[in-house]
Structure 1
Amino acid sequence: MFKGTAASDGIGIGNIMIIEEHALSYSPQAVTDTDAETQRYTDAVNSFCESTAAKADSLRKSAGEKEAEILEGHIQILKDPYLNGEIEKLIANGTCAESALEQMCDQFITVFSMADDELTKQRAADVKDIKTGMLSILLGIQEVKISDAPKGTVLVAHELTPSMTAGIVKENIIGIVTETGGKTSHSAILARALEIPAVLSVDDAVSKLANGQQIIVDGSEGIVIYSPDEAQIESYTQKRNMFLQERRELENYRGRKTLSASGEEYELCCNIGNSEDAVKAMEFDGEGVGLFRTEFLFMDRNSMPTEEEQFEAYKKAALILKGKPLIIRTLDIGGDKDLPYLGLKKEENPFMGFRAIRYCLKNEELFTSQIRAILRASAFGDIRIMFPLVTTVDELREGKKLVKKLKLELSSENIDFDKDIKVGVMVETSSAAVIADLLAKEADFFSIGTNDLTGYTMACDRGNSDVSYLYSPLQPSVLRMIKNIIECGIKNNIPVGICGEAAANPMMIPLLISFGLTEFSVSAPSVLKVRKTITQWTKQEADKVAEKVMTFATEKEITDYLKAII
């Protein structure tokens, strides 16, 4: 048995197909006809873009718009003027196309790999995928194809790239195992979109497993069983059938209000990064958007998005939601993101540095452009503004002051906007949690960002395996923070939501119900599951559980108790 990262729920029982990576070796040769070599490179770029666009179309049909955009992003990266310009300079100086491409791609991979956040690190995998595809074209080597895999196949690979995934025939692949990748990697995102069970980060899977052998993939628990015996096959077959039955039963919760067993109503929204995600939120029966991460609009480009570009993006999302709430978080970006056009300095500890609301308040032109775009878009839906990483009342006041100023500006220009637009705070720092009573007097709503709140409160980086054991929203200190934030919201008659991973955690849900939370914001595929969980609890039952939980002194005591009763 092997243990890895549970990346996509479900059970797959089938036979192994190992995806071997072709050796892309070559002997760098100095070129004399640089014009011809430049043309050879340009032809390869055109060929890559054409085939990638076709793969994106295929992925759009099998997985969705957001997943197709991953591959379309590869085209944008390869067409980046800086990247192409540097490659062509190297070729002009006599470097062969293969070597020029590899040198520049490796530079990008190194920069992205050093980033502190998973989203930027994922760019390294994208560039590596681009490099592999381009070298295959330049060297005339056939790319790995998995479209011919028979039914009942479990794919095993060092890494399953987006370009490989585009060739998956959903009906034939019943499991994925890779040696690399995490829950936020593109392999995981694509596996979940295709509803294929996946376990990632399984050490030496390619060398330890063999083609054609039977294997069980438990994507819910992160377990891989090689050459299972009859008892294991029978046990996991039952488990798979139960999982599929539960998935079918979840459809019964589509189109229903989110009510507890005792009748309290909750708002169950989705977290999104673009208008295409808004489409998915509606497809999965979300009741709105509790978090629109606007930083995605600023990435993978050479200049800051204009006010008009931002306005169109926010307006599009609002129109898709058809009057349902849309909470737009202002730019949450800092020195951990590689955005040269913003001139961000590299910081030793960017998560405690010059970022988010701090950066925006000091860069009024950028902030003004974004706030104006949000205000203008508010004429087309129920839009709300949320400031991230607030640590002081002053920051909230300064942000609201700018909103007020821009409202007057738009009024003088006769531009429509929601004059009563709500302005809230993303409570994700220990400071904000401690002064939640003060912030609640001046904010229109709270949204608790449990991911960062947990990290800041426990002084731990969840990406650091040495301290990741501390990272849990079920730590007594984190639960006390959350309870206090919600109570402060209730006392000041403002709604309080939650938009971190804890919102979808079945062990957290009864506690959040008891504390008085009013809104849950989760990933789109989690909506029906969370709705079902909420309907299983009365407020009275949740209160009893929470009362007991708050008497425990350790995270283990809390977790053991909740596992025993849920």
Structure 2
Amino acid sequence: MERYKGVTVCEGVAIGPAYVMRANKEKTRFTEDDDDAVMSAPGRVQTELLRLERALEKTRVRMDKMVLDAGVKAGTDAAQIFLMHQLVLEGNEFRNLSRICIEEGRMDAIDAVTHTGEALASKFAEMEDDYMAARADDVRDIAREIITVLEEGDDEPITDEEPAVKDDYPYILVAGSLLPSDVIELERDRVQAIVTVNGSPTSHASILANMMDIPMVVSVPLNLEAIEDGTPIYVNADTGEIIIQPDVDFTEEAKKSTDPSKYELQRAIGMETKTRGGKHIDLYANIASVVDLKMALKNDAEGIGLYRSEFIFLDRPEPPSEDEQYSVYKKLLTVCKGKPLTIRTMDLGGDKRVSYLEMGDKRGLAFSLEHQELFRTQLRALIRASIHGELKIMYPYVTSAEEVMQANSLFGEVKWSMLSEVGSTNIPQGIMVETVKAVEQIDRLVDHAEFISIGTNDLTCDLYGIDRYERANPSIDDDYAKLFMTIRNVVRTAHKAGLKVSICGELAARRDYASRFLDTGADCISIAPSKVLLMRDHIINCCW
């Protein structure tokens, strides 16, 4: 029995067989003399430049799919990690440096991309800020995707692809390090936990694991060569403890300590989300797909506080038609079986870009109002679908009362034009408060909304002036006092106007902040489907 200690990324306890993701074996490609001879052949430089350009374009297409997959598996924040990858691809630095390596360094396309990736990654890795240093893995991930595309065009691949896990058993993933694309491609129902030798809690791979609710421990000093696939491993991501080949007695005790917790959570199904002191709060889920919705209902979410509709607009050459959108919304409402469903209208702009529109600098509701035909089509589809369940719609990233008034007016026009088609349906319209501008205008905004949802992710960034993925930043006070004071003020103003307030975002899913969200007076918490029962169990046992 070997014990190790690492750094916790995402809490949880698991015991199971190891699957070791081993580094690809490097093959000798060319000697320097061979390089000169090969690259001096007539037209070879132009051939390699053409290979590079084609690979960059194909990688952009692959990244589009990765954005969509990330959004479906882990939500908007996960998708935006890969949207950031796209921005690197669309920029000139990676492309230009790779071209220089081919033209002046006499490298072929694969060597040029490898060299460029490591050079740019090294620049990030040398930065003193931990968050920025962790971006080195993002650059390596992009380089690996480009190299994969280049190799697919070769007769013989240069590197060995890591074989997929063929058996269907659940496993503990053990690796030297992971890149973001490694994590998002995992099958969540099979991966019990992740253990890595390298990595940090601020890497995008770690952030994705947290979003997918996979217990993870990094910086564990393991010798991967000494661990065979199938080796039993105990992972306590609550404490950072790892045990390789635990003995029989320990294994039995570990199973007893982990299995009942699942049973206890199942007992929370059907129970009211109420503290010991009698404080009730609605517990909803955030979703991006029907798969998410089914998990939310399985975990007894009382409703859906946020459906991210923008994902049906991404990764496609043209916008979805009204009928296509109607079909999606109808399906969601039907599966909900009467439970309330809040659909956020398309939150496009900023990092979430589509190829079929001029993007400009607007985001959220402002973007929708700038593209009114697209917005009208979505509103028509939503109104048609509303007869199939309890639908609410919510406008994203609001920055002014005028925007909301304009959206309400447009909604009224569309609804009136459909009166003979759907009758006088009642569809509450709400807003997301996730900007400082919205907070500053909350006294006016409550006059034009029927409910409010506070998005803690963007609001935290706007309040503290940080990147949405930064975890440790000197501008954030230790206990988010400024954020909670802001939330409390918004809730108080909304309640005076007779409006209910829900909280969504990563912080809302943290059990150590549950009592503080209860203190704000919020009426609802909306979190990832996988965390609903954990949160209910915590609140039920809370002394608030």
TM-score > 0.5 by shorter chain: yes
Q: Is the 8 A contact 1:146 1:164 kept in 2?
A: no
TM-aligned CA deviation for residue 260 of structure 1: 2.9
Which residue in the other structure is 2:23 paired with?
20
Q: Is the 8 A contact 1:17 1:211 kept in 2?
A: no
Which residue in the other structure is 2:165 paired with?
147
Q: Distance in 1 between matches of 2:518 and 2:276?
A: 11
TM superposition score normalised by structure 1: 0.67
Give the alignment partner of residue 198 of structure 1, picking from 216, 221, 243: 216
Whether 1:517 and 2:522 are equivalent positions in the alignment is yes
TM-aligned CA deviation for residue 303 of structure 1: 2.0
TM-aligned CA deviation for residue 406 of structure 1: 0.7
Whether 1:332 and 2:347 are equivalent positions in the alignment is yes
Which residue in the other structure is 1:435 paired with?
441
Q: Distance in 2 between matches of 1:26 and 1:279?
A: 49
Which residue in the other structure is 1:132 paired with?
148
Whether 1:177 and 2:196 are equivalent positions in the alignment is yes
Distance 1:490 1:210, change over 3 A: same
Q: Distance in 2 between matches of 1:183 and 1:521?
A: 24
Tell me the secondary structure at the aligned position of residue 511 of structure 2. Answer: coil
Q: Is the 8 A contact 2:347 2:396 kept in 1?
A: yes
TM-aligned CA deviation for residue 179 of structure 1: 4.1
Q: Is the 8 A contact 2:458 2:468 kept in 1?
A: no
> Larger relative CO (CA 8 A, sep 6+): 1 or 2?
2
Distance 1:20 1:527, change over 3 A: same
Distance 1:184 1:519, change over 3 A: farther
Which residue in the other structure is 1:546 paired with?
none
TM-aligned CA deviation for residue 528 of structure 1: 0.6
Q: Is the 8 A contact 1:259 1:265 kept in 2?
A: yes
Q: Is the 8 A contact 1:278 1:317 kept in 2?
A: yes
Distance 1:156 1:371, change over 3 A: same
Whether 1:381 and 2:402 are equivalent positions in the alignment is no
TM-aligned CA deviation for residue 177 of structure 1: 2.3
1:446-465 mapped onto 2 (5 Å cutoff):
446-464=452-470
Q: Distance in 2 between matches of 1:142 and 1:398?
A: 56
Q: Is the 8 A contact 1:288 1:324 kept in 2?
A: yes
Q: Is the 8 A contact 1:289 1:521 kept in 2?
A: yes
Q: Distance in 2 between matches of 1:188 and 1:460?
A: 16
Which residue in the other structure is 2:410 paired with?
402
Distance 1:275 1:536, change over 3 A: same
Tell me the secondary structure at the aligned position of residue 498 of structure 1. Answer: strand
Q: Is the 8 A contact 1:176 1:198 kept in 2?
A: yes
Which residue in the other structure is 1:392 paired with?
400
Distance 1:358 1:184, change over 3 A: farther
Distance 1:196 1:505, change over 3 A: closer
Deviates more, 1:136-145 or 1:233-242: 233-242
Give the alignment partner of residue 366 of structure 1, picking from 366, 374, 386: 374
Q: CA RMSD in A?
A: 5.2
Q: Distance in 1 between matches of 2:329 and 2:188?
A: 34
Q: Is the 8 A contact 2:170 2:189 kept in 1?
A: no
Q: Is the 8 A contact 2:9 2:206 kept in 1?
A: no
Q: Distance in 1 between matches of 2:252 and 2:143?
A: 39
Which residue in the other structure is 2:321 paired with?
306
Distance 1:185 1:418, change over 3 A: farther
Q: Distance in 1 between matches of 2:538 and 2:191?
A: 32
Give the alignment partner of residue 254 of structure 1, picking from 249, 260, 269: 269
Q: Is the 8 A contact 1:18 1:210 kept in 2?
A: no
Which residue in the other structure is 2:507 paired with?
502
Distance 1:153 1:398, change over 3 A: closer
1:290-313 CA deviation, whole Å, 9 max, x = no partner? 011122112222222222222222
1:4-153 mapped onto 2 (5 Å cutoff):
4=7, 6-7=9-10, 9-12=12-15, 17=20, 19-23=22-26, 66=73, 125=141, 128=144, 132=148, 135=151, 138=154, 139=156, 143-145=161-163, 147=165
Give the alignment partner of residue 363 of structure 2, picking from 355, 360, 384: 355
Q: Is the 8 A contact 2:429 2:451 kept in 1?
A: yes
Distance 1:465 1:499, change over 3 A: closer
Distance 1:153 1:380, change over 3 A: closer
Distance 1:336 1:173, change over 3 A: closer
Tell me the secondary structure at the aligned position of residue 373 of structure 2. Answer: helix
Distance 1:478 1:239, change over 3 A: farther
Deviates more, 1:495-504 or 1:124-133: 124-133
TM-aligned CA deviation for residue 280 of structure 1: 1.8
Tell me the secondary structure at the aligned position of residue 175 of structure 2. Answer: strand
1:427-457 CA deviation, whole Å, 9 max, x = no partner? 1122322332322222100111111112211
Q: Is the 8 A contact 2:234 2:246 kept in 1?
A: no
Question: Structure 2: where are the runs of 5+ without partners?
Answer: 56-61, 63-68, 83-107, 125-131
Which residue in the other structure is 2:359 paired with?
344
Tell me the secondary structure at the aligned position of residue 419 of structure 1. Answer: coil
Which residue in the other structure is 1:534 paired with?
539
TM-aligned CA deviation for residue 174 of structure 1: 6.0
Whether 1:481 and 2:508 are equivalent positions in the alignment is no
1:475-526 CA deviation, whole Å, 9 max, x = no partner? 2211111111111222121111111122222232223323322111110111
Q: Distance in 1 between matches of 2:22 and 2:73?
A: 25
Give the alignment partner of residue 219 of structure 1, picking from 237, 243, 250: 237
Q: Is the 8 A contact 1:387 1:424 kept in 2?
A: yes
Q: Is the 8 A contact 1:216 1:226 kept in 2?
A: yes
Deviates more, 1:17-26 or 1:505-514: 17-26
Tell me the secondary structure at the aligned position of residue 341 of structure 1. Answer: coil
Identity of aligned residues (%): 25
Whether 1:425 and 2:424 are equivalent positions in the alignment is no
1:303-347 CA deviation, whole Å, 9 max, x = no partner? 2222222222222111111111111111222232342322224xx
TM-aligned CA deviation for residue 176 of structure 1: 3.5
Which residue in the other structure is 1:563 paired with?
none
Q: Is the 8 A contact 1:274 1:313 kept in 2?
A: no
Q: Distance in 1 between matches of 2:466 and 2:438?
A: 18
Q: Is the 8 A contact 2:110 2:147 kept in 1?
A: no
Distance 1:255 1:137, change over 3 A: farther
Q: Which amino acid aligns with 1:415?
A: E
Q: Which amino acid aligns with 1:332?
A: D
Tell me the secondary structure at the aligned position of residue 342 of structure 1. Answer: coil
Distance 1:143 1:461, change over 3 A: closer
Q: Is the 8 A contact 1:162 1:190 kept in 2?
A: no
Q: Distance in 2 between matches of 1:187 and 1:24?
A: 29
Q: Is the 8 A contact 1:462 1:471 kept in 2?
A: no
TM superposition score normalised by structure 2: 0.70
